[in-house]
Amino acid sequence: MTMGLHRNPLRFQKLSRFWAEMRRRLWATIQELDLQSSMDGGMPPTIDLAEYDCDPPSNYDDADLIESMTEDPPPKDPGILTRSSFQVLLSRSLPVRVLIAELVNRLSFTISYDEALRLSEELMQSLHDALELFPSDESLSHIPGVENPAFTKSYFIFLIRRHLLALHRPFCLSVMRTPKFSYSRKICLDSALNILSLLEPPLGDGAEAQPHPHLGHLTGGMFREELFHAAIMVCVEIALQADEYSRSKSMLPGQSSVLSFLNDMAESQQAVMVRAVEDTIRIFGSRIAPGGQGCKPYLFLSLTLASAKARLKGEDSFRTMDQAGTNVIRDCHLLMSGVPWADVRKRDGNSAKESSISTPALTAGTPLDLPFDPISFVPSSMEDISPLDFETLFDMTDYGASGVWNNDFFSGF
């Protein structure tokens, strides 16, 4: 702002058209970095929307911008994908995302549910518009003049879903006290699964497959933290479903056909959720540094998933967590001792490949009161846990920014 980048470039009469557009792009980048830093640190953004008048960048192709030009080139249609489309799309959704960051990072959470739904609808519309702009996944690697459009699309989805999670998570964690927040529960699950799906490998194989950077390859920063919170959110949903199934058993005594139908409906969804968390755990484990950086999220997420799966099966969650904790601590010790991740997984007997689960049989033998443990977010604990505590329950300070500089990370560019 000291350089005046926040001011409208047209105010500077001696500024060429080329450098005016460069200033717009720079200011849009500064705004986005400030917003993401505020989300990372749990603080309101430092740039007020009313304190600048620099307009957003236009949808130009880089080839259309020449330093000696005297007139602005005609911008591309908003429906045409260019190398600046990503920044243009982010700029359109910036005001609502900044407002969400201000509201959720305040000292007291006072946003009304109606206001949250309005902001959510605006974000969903931005996401819908962007997905219409990008072609299908099969043709993402064949867009002339646009480098790595698959990563551009994934990164945009990640940023929008990140703000949707931050907006709806406090309401979702209060759903047992206030059932009207069920829509937030759905949005949180959808957003969490969407974020975790970004860890899947790109489509295509052989020489035709373009290398795409993997969000999970980052050792620190917002990618790993948001992936962690998304996986925890999925575990919350699994725990909530386990409690609901036990309740439905008590409410429908003797109606085994109805209960069997409910089990069949839930089984495939629960398998997807468990598999998504297990894949995230494997990626977290593979990124543990020899110095121990990255052990905490690997440990906490493994224990949380073990507890959630035990609740689904009606088993003792304490015993399951004890066994899972022993295995995770052994894994961390081996990794810190220099044992490769592939060898650690072999020592575990390929247990991470178990993705099929059985839903709790809703019979007379299923316990109604599942035990409480301090790791999982179960309904019985909702009265004691504030939704605003969710971001600080697990400390991420063992991550270092230097972990980004891995030899294999930039090989994807």
Here the tokens at position 393 are: 């329950």
Burial of 84 (0-12, 13-18, 19+ CB in 10 A): buried
**Polymer length in residues for the chain:** 413
| Per-residue pLDDT at 141 | 52
Here the tokens at position 18 are: 């080329």
Distance CA 156, CA 195 (A): 11
CB 33 within 8 A of CB 87: no
| Per-residue pLDDT at 163 | 96
Cβ contacts of residue 59 below 8 Å, gap of 6+? Answer: 75, 76, 77, 78, 80, 82, 84, 85, 88
3-state secondary structure the chain: CCCCCCCCHHHCCCCCHHHHHHHHHHHHHHHHHHHHHHHHHCCCCCCCHHHCCCCCCCCCCHHHCCCCCCCCCCCCCCCCCCCCHHHHHHHHHHHHHHHHHHHHCCCCCCCCHHHHHHHHHHHHHHHHHHHHHCCCHHHCCCCCCCCCHHHHHHHHHHHHHHHHHHHHHHHHCCCCCCHHHHHHHHHHHHHHHHHHHCCCCCCCCHHHCCCCCCHHHCCCCHHHHHHHHHHHHHHHHHHHHHHHHHHHHHHCCCCHHHHHHHHHHHHHHHHHHHHHHHHHHHHHHHCCCCCCCCHHHHHHHHHHHHHHHHHHHCCCHHHHHHHHHHHHHHHHHHHHCCCCHHHHHHHCCCHHHCCCCCCCCCCCCCCCCCCCCCCCCCHHHCCCCCHHHHHHCCCCCCCCHHHHCCCCCHHHC
CB 328 within 8 A of CB 298: yes
Break the chain into its structural domains and give their ranges.
216-249+264-349
pLDDT tens series, the chain, 413 aa: 888 888 988 888 888 889 999 999 999 999 999 999 999 988 999 999 889 999 999 988 888 888 888 888 888 888 888 888 899 999 999 999 999 999 999 888 889 999 999 999 999 999 998 888 886 665 555 555 566 778 888 889 999 999 999 999 999 988 878 888 999 999 999 999 999 998 876 555 443 344 444 555 555 567 778 899 999 999 999 988 888 877 766 665 555 565 566 566 677 788 899 999 999 999 898 888 888 888 899 999 999 999 999 988 888 888 999 999 999 999 999 998 888 888 888 887 655 444 344 434 333 333 334 333 434 433 444 344 444 444 444 433 333 333 333 334 333 32
| Per-residue pLDDT at 143 | 58
| Per-residue pLDDT at 224 | 78
